[in-house]
Amino acid sequence: MTDQDDAQLKALLKKHYDPVVTEPIPARMYMRRPAWMGYARGFALVAVGILIGLALPYFRPAPPPVAAAQPAATFSMRAARAHLVYAPEVRHPVEVDATQQEHLVKWLSKRLGLDLKVPLLAGEGFELLGGRLLPGPEGPVAQFMYQDSGGKRLTLYVSKPNRADQPAAFRFAQEGPVAVFYWIDRDCGYALSGELDRGTLTRVATAVYKQLEP
Amino acid sequence: MDYDLIVPYIPNLRRYARALVGDRDGADDLVQDTLERAVRKFHLWRPGDLRAWLFSIMHNVFVNQLKARRIAPDVELDESFAAPVASVGPLDLEDMQRALNTLAPEQREVVLLVALEDMSYADVSRALGIPMGTVMSRLSRGREKLRRVMNENGPKAGLKVVT
């Protein structure tokens, strides 16, 4: 056999099979990865989806902490808020002023279902301005307001205890700028609030306590 | 991506497989199995001759297919049934394939790798995992037989039958 024969044979084979090279590659061959790769891809996609689903809540802005995290504002907190809303009022700090003290006490007692007494704090330098009715979480609340000669104001917040409120002895709480003395007994809760130093507030609160809890 | 490195060799693999197996579907199955195995084993490939590596994988797949399905008809059987075909024109693809099928698969591999892929003896030796001496002896015996079969079945034989 000569080299020429070999070359002829080669040319013959090439002539017959070279056209395969230019045939379009079947799509299955070109695109299809091995089956396990397809499964792995599928599983990976599903896993990524699950992870995204699980992670999504963490990317959301946190809900406002106050509403969700705390069951309800505490008694002292509610008292401090009420103080902050009404104490700065210049023209309408109260609904019923002290000139109608008797009417004020009757009205609020009726609305709260309590036999209210208004402590007299003139001995501590605070005169009664009057009072108003407020909404509380479980019913009406009464607020009495006092003022000293320098224009500093105190409020006394009175309500029936909420179910969530634990009976409490004489307690102090600082709610932001407002100092609060409060006590809660079985029938009634009292909170004395003011933007005062703790010493002054303690003195006044003691006087209130003595008058209300015989 | 490993697959992207392999894709350029698909046409070569298909050409070789077509001549080796004969029918189009069987050949493409061989290519497909080879590609899947290549991707699976790609981490075993050491940078070097990727073509030789792919053809060695195809060789392994081919041998396994022979064992499992007896793709290629028995050589002796094929030879005995390779009745001369009455074809007057030049050798067509069918005749070519029939002639190739008379070779033993291991001869066919060597002949085709050298003819279609222009592989050196060393390349073939690597791709098929056989010594160079074996490559050369299979090549010469394969070529010889192929020529003989084509001469018998080719135009001359046809002429004989017609006359």
pLDDT digits (tens, 9 = 90+) for A19-40: 998 888 877 776 555 566 667 7
Q: What is the mean pLDDT of chain B?
A: 81
Question: How far does the CA of residue B16 sit from the closest CA of chain A (Å)?
Answer: 8
Residues A40 and A108 in one domain: no
Three-state SS letters, A109-175: HHHHCCCCCCCCCHHHCCEEEEEEEEEECCEEEEEEEEECCCCCEEEEEEECCCCCCCCEEEEEEEE
Residues A103 and A159 in one domain: yes
Inter-chain residue contact B12 with A21, CB threshold 8 Å: yes
Host H or E run for residue A18: none
Tell me if A67 is assigned to some domain.
Answer: no
Contact list, B40 vs chain A (CB under 8 Å): 34, 36
Q: Which of A1, A20, A29 sits opposite B35 (nearest CB)?
A: A29
* B7 pLDDT higher than 90: no
What is the pLDDT at residue A92?
Answer: 86
What is the pLDDT at residue B160?
Answer: 37
Question: How far does the CA of residue B150 sit from the closest CA of chain A (Å)?
Answer: 10
Residues A167 and A104 in one domain: yes
Inter-chain residue contact B10 with A12, CB threshold 8 Å: no
| Residue finishing a domain among A59, A90, A107 | A59
- Going by C-beta distance under 8 Å and a sequence separation of 6 or more, which residues neighbour residue A135? A141
CA distances from A84 to A66, A75, A80, A159 (A): 18, 14, 6, 17
Tell me if A66 is assigned to some domain.
Answer: no
Contact list, B14 vs chain A (CB under 8 Å): 20-21, 23, 25
Q: Any CB–CB contact under 8 A between B69 and chain A?
A: no
Residues A186 and A105 in one domain: yes
| Residue finishing a domain among A11, A35, A59 | A59
What is the pLDDT at residue B89?
Answer: 53
Inter-chain residue contact B18 with A26, CB threshold 8 Å: no
Instruction: Select the more confidently predicted residue: B79 or B130.
Output: B130
Match 């799509």 to its residue by tokens.
A27
Question: Is the CB of residue B59 less than 8 Å from the CB of residue B129?
Answer: yes
Q: Any CB–CB contact under 8 A between B15 and chain A?
A: yes
Q: How many CB pairs under 8 A join A and B?
A: 66
Question: Is the CB of residue A158 less than 8 Å from the CB of residue A175?
Answer: no
The rounded percent of chain B whose pLDDT value lies above 90 is: 44
- Going by C-beta distance under 8 Å and a sequence separation of 6 or more, which residues neighbour residue A194? A83, A87, A152, A153, A154, A155, A178, A179, A200, A201, A204
- Across A64-83, average pLDDT: 70
Tell me if A20 is assigned to some domain.
Answer: yes
Number of domains in chain A: 2
What is the pLDDT at residue A58?
Answer: 80
Inter-chain residue contact A22 with B11, CB threshold 8 Å: yes
Residues A99 and A30 in one domain: no
Residues A42 and A147 in one domain: no
Contact list, B12 vs chain A (CB under 8 Å): 21
Question: Is the CB of residue B118 less than 8 Å from the CB of residue B12?
Answer: no
Three-state SS letters, chain B: CHHHHHHHHHHHHHHHHHHHHCCHHHHHHHHHHHHHHHHHCHHHCCCCCHHHHHHHHHHHHHHHHHHHHCCCCCHHHHHHHCCCCCCCCCCCHHHHHHHHHCCCHHHHHHHHHHHHHCCCHHHHHHHHCCCHHHHHHHHHHHHHHHHHHHHHHCHHHHHHHHC
Long-range contacts of B37-43 (CB under 8 A, 24+ apart): B37/B61, B38/B2, B38/B6, B39/A33, B39/A34, B39/A37, B39/B2, B39/B3, B39/B6, B40/A34, B40/A36, B42/B2, B42/B6
Residues A28 and A92 in one domain: no
- Going by C-beta distance under 8 Å and a sequence separation of 6 or more, which residues neighbour residue B10? A25, A29, A30, B31, B35
Residues A54 and A130 in one domain: no
Q: What is the pLDDT of residues A147-206, one digit of tens each?
A: 999 999 999 999 987 777 777 778 888 888 999 999 888 788 999 999 988 888 888 988
Residues A96 and A192 in one domain: yes
3-state secondary structure of A190: strand
Tell me if A64 is assigned to some domain.
Answer: no
Tell me if A86 is assigned to some domain.
Answer: yes
Q: What is the pLDDT of residues A78-112, one digit of tens each?
A: 999 999 999 988 888 898 888 898 999 999 999 99
The pTM of this model reads 0.48
Q: How far apart are the first and last CA of chain A?
A: 133
Question: How far does the CA of residue B15 sit from the closest CA of chain A (Å)?
Answer: 5
Contact list, A35 vs chain B (CB under 8 Å): 36
- Going by C-beta distance under 8 Å and a sequence separation of 6 or more, which residues neighbour residue A155? A79, A82, A83, A86, A87, A143, A144, A145, A146, A192, A193, A194
Please count the CA atoms within 13 angstroms of the CA of A90 that sit on its side-chain side: 0
Tell me if A179 is assigned to some domain.
Answer: yes
Residues A19 and A87 in one domain: no
Residues A102 and A195 in one domain: yes
* B87 pLDDT higher than 50: no
Question: In terms of residue numbers, what domain contains A99?
Answer: 73-212
- Across A67-78, average pLDDT: 66
Inter-chain residue contact A28 with B32, CB threshold 8 Å: yes
CA distance linking residue B11 with residue A24, whole number of Å: 9
What is the pLDDT at residue A168?
Answer: 74
Tell me if A65 is assigned to some domain.
Answer: no
Inter-chain residue contact A14 with B7, CB threshold 8 Å: no
Q: What is the pLDDT of residues B11-45, one digit of tens each?
A: 999 999 999 998 888 899 999 999 888 888 887 87
- Going by C-beta distance under 8 Å and a sequence separation of 6 or more, which residues neighbour residue A96? A103, A104, A107, A130, A131, A132
What is the pLDDT at residue A210?
Answer: 85
Q: Which of A13, A25, A34 sits opposite B10 (nearest CB)?
A: A25
CA distance linking residue A15 with residue A213, whole number of Å: 117
Residues A208 and A119 in one domain: yes
Sketch out chain B's domains with CATH numbers: 1-71 (1.10.1740.10), 73-163 (1.10.10.10)
Question: How far does the CA of residue A39 sit from the closest CA of chain B (Å)?
Answer: 14
Which tokens hold the place of A60? 């959301």
What is the pLDDT at residue B157?
Answer: 42
- Across A36-61, average pLDDT: 81
* B136 pLDDT higher than 90: yes
Which tokens hold the place of B134? 């074996």
User: Which of B53-57, B78-82, B149-153 comes out lowest in average pLDDT?
Assistant: B78-82
Tell me if A82 is assigned to some domain.
Answer: yes
